[in-house]
Amino acid sequence: MVKRVPHLAIKTGVMVAAVGVLLGRTSAKAADDLPKELAPYFTPPAEYADKVTPGPHLVDLGSGKTPQSKEDWAIRRSEILKTWQGFMGEWPPVLEDPKLEILETTRREDFTQHRIRLEIAPGQTGEGYLLIPDGKGPFPAVYVPFYDPETSIGLGKMPLRDFAYQLTKRGFVSLSMGAPGGDARKPVLSDGAKCQPLSYLGYLSANAWQALADRPEVDRKRIGVMGHSYGGKWAMFGSCLWEKFACAVWSDPGIVFDEARPSINYWEPWYLGYEPGYTRERGLITAQSPRTGPYKQIMEQGRSLSEFQMLMAPRPFLVSGGSEDFAARWLDLNRVREAYTVLKVPVLAGMHNRPLHGPTEESNALAYRFMEWALKERPIE
């Protein structure tokens, strides 16, 4: 167990949460409920325990009242969802029965690999891979989005990003898909879609969940999502906006709006900065290349990703942090954890940190162990 520090007074740049002591106690409960190899990553390090970034109490209802029950939290969650949908635009209807066509079947090791064509939105399809382990199902499943689906199944050129392959080897059905239209910076949205590109990726995630849930090999209550970098943003927005995902792993997506770091780039038009008729120069925010689209509105209103990430509660998620999501991000993650405290459930929002952006053997092993616990071992109602 990580050693805690006494409750601290307010310091420059850091605010102690009003629920700090409660947050600490619930963190300890979460550690008791987790496997010993995961528990340390669901308790803030001592230097960040009971401290959060400055700002309003994000769990409070629009009326200013702190939620006291699950019913109160349901109201607060709907407020958050409505606010962010207002910024990003609402989705088209989620597909009830997305068409999945098997194009080619290959036998690999101890699983079956299907190359597929999936209906990802009305009038739009994408090609990817469905991997099914040997044995008797139904199995837990994971959706793995990335730039291209081949990397996720271990047939790409980038090492340590083969999440779908590795999880299938561990007894998961996996579905891997790439950027809609093939270019992450020029995403192709279906006709009639009026939401921001990053929200649209969340919409595609909901349809992917439905495609997995329709499979006889899959336990529909045990479907998670995991992605790295661009795929990490995709996994974040998919899991937050589609609450049927049972859990999530976000690998170094940038869990904070940080305009000093070019790789976080939520302001770009292919994420949250799309504005019809305006093209900004790619890169950091400058006077010559200012904020645009809903991202501009979000920042002007002082909204934070921590508020958006509260949509995950009470479901478990792990931030597999690298160069963009370093240890100090606990100050923001602690904001998200307040929602779990209000719900009086184990605080299952955790983070592991590595120095560089790319995944490592250690970070991946921890993420896979988390998925095994969250989707195989943990009771799910």
- The DSSP secondary structure of 171-201, one letter per residue, reads T-EEEEE--TTS-TTS--PPTT--S-HHHHH
Q: What is the model's pLDDT at position 313?
A: 97
What percent of the chain is predicted at pLDDT more than 70? 92
Strand order in the sheet with 317-321: 100-108, 111-121, 124-133, 173-177, 139-145, 218-228, 247-251, 317-321, 349-353
Q: Is the peptide bond before 138 cis (omega within 30 degrees of 0)?
A: yes
Residue type, 144: V
Confidence of residue 279 (pLDDT cuts 50, 70, 90): confident
Q: What is the mean pLDDT of residues 165-185?
A: 98
Q: Does residue 357 sit in helix, strand or coil?
A: coil
Give the start-to-end residue ranges of the domains of the chain: 100-325+353-377
Residue type, 234: W
User: Using CA atoms, how far apart are residues 328 and 326, in angstroms rounded to an integer?
Assistant: 6
> pTM for this structure?
0.92
Q: What is the model's pLDDT at position 381?
A: 81
pLDDT tens sequence across 117-158:
999 999 999 999 999 999 999 999 999 999 999 999 999 999
CATH 3.40.50.1820 matches 100-325+353-377: yes
Q: Does residue 112 sit in helix, strand or coil?
A: strand
pLDDT tens sequence across 222-248:
999 999 999 999 999 999 999 999 999
